[in-house]
Amino acid sequence: MQQRRKLDQKQINQELLSGNLKTPKWYIPTMLFLGFFVVTGFATILYMFNKGLGVTGLSRPVYWGLFITTFVFWVGISHAGIMISAILRLTQAEWRRPVTRAAELLTVFSLLTALFFPLMHAGRPWRIVYWLMPYDFARGIWPNVRSPLFWDPIAIGTYLTGSTLFLYIALIPDLAVLRDRTTGWQKVFYTILALGWRGNPRQWLLQAVAGILLSALMLPIFVSVHSIVSWDFAITPSVEGWHSTIFAPYFVIGAVHSGVSAVVTMMALMRWLWKWNNHIRPEHFDALARLLIVVATAWLGCTFLELIFSVYGREAPEIALRELMIFTWPWNLLFIIFLLTGYIIPVGFWIFKKARNNIVIMFWTSILVNVGMWLERFLIIVPGLARKQPFTFTWEAYTPSLVEWYILVWSFAWVSFLMLLFARFFPLIPLFETKESQVFTSETKIGRATVPVIYREED
Partner 1 sequence: MSKKSILGLFDTPDQGADALDGLHNAGFESHECDVLTGTPYPEGTFGEHVPQHRLFRFPLFGAIIGLTLSIFITTATQIAYPLVTGGKPILSIFAMLIIMYEMTMLSAVVTTVVGIIFESRLPKFNLGAYDTRITEGLIGVVVNCEEKDLSKAKKVFTDSGALDTKEA
Write out the residues near partner 1 by the rule CB under 8 A.
Answer: 8-10, 13, 134, 140-147, 150-151, 154-155, 157-158, 161-162, 165-166, 168-169, 172, 176-177, 180-181, 191-192, 195-210, 213-214, 217-218, 220-221, 224, 228, 432, 435-436, 438-439, 455, 457
Interacting residues of 93 by C-beta distance below 8 A, sequence separation 6+: 287
Q: What DSSP character marks residue 123? A: S
Closest CA to 62 of 387, 385, 394, 392: 385
Residue closer to partner 1, measured from CB, 203 or 277: 203
Nearest distance in Å: CB 157, partner 1: 7
User: Of the two residues 92 and 394, which places its CB atom closer to partner 1 in the complex?
Assistant: 92
Residue type, 361: I
Rounded least distance, CB 106 to partner 1, Å = 19
CB of 123 to partner 1, least distance (A): 24
Q: What is the nearest approach in angstroms of partner 1 to the Cβ of residue 13?
A: 6
Q: Of 283 and 436, which CB lies nearer to partner 1 in the complex structure? A: 436
CB of 81 to partner 1, least distance (A): 14
What's the closest the beta carbon of residue 60 comes to partner 1, in angstroms? 27
Nearer to partner 1, 67 or 190 (CB): 190
**Minimum distance from residue 224 beta carbon to partner 1 (Å):** 6
* Contact in structure between 321 and 381 (CB atoms under 8 Å): no
Nearest approach, Cβ of residue 244 and partner 1 (Å): 17
Between residues 43 and 213, which has the closer beta carbon with respect to partner 1?
A: 213
- Closer Cβ to partner 1, 220 or 237, answer by number: 220
- Give the integer Cα–Cα distance in Å for 443 and 347: 33
d(CA 180, CA 399): 55
Which residue stretches of 182-242 are H helix? 184-194, 201-234
Torsion on CA atoms 115, 116, 121, 124, rounded to nearest 10: 110
Check if the beta carbon of residue 222 is closer than 8 Å to that of residue 88: no
- CA diameter of the chain: 82
Nearer to partner 1, 126 or 137 (CB): 137
Measured CA to CA, the distance from residue 259 to residue 83 in angstroms comes to 8
The angle formed by the CA atoms of residues 405, 263 and 89, to the nearest 5 degrees, is 145
CA distance 152 to 128: 12
Q: How far is CA 261 from the centre of its chain?
A: 9
End-to-end alpha carbon distance in the chain: 29
Nearer to partner 1, 448 or 457 (CB): 457
* Coil vs helix vs strand at 188: helix
CA angle 92–81–368, rounded 5-degree value: 115
By beta-carbon proximity to partner 1, the closer residue of 27 and 150 is 150
- In this complex, which beta carbon is closest to partner 1, that of residue 138 or of residue 446? 138
Q: Find all residues with CB under 8 Å of 421, minimum gap 6, and list them.
A: 31
Residue 27 CB, nearest distance to partner 1 (Å)? 24
Nearest distance from residue 202's CB to partner 1, in Å? 4
Beta bridge partners of 453: 442
Give the rounded distance of the alpha carbon of 297 from its chain centre: 19
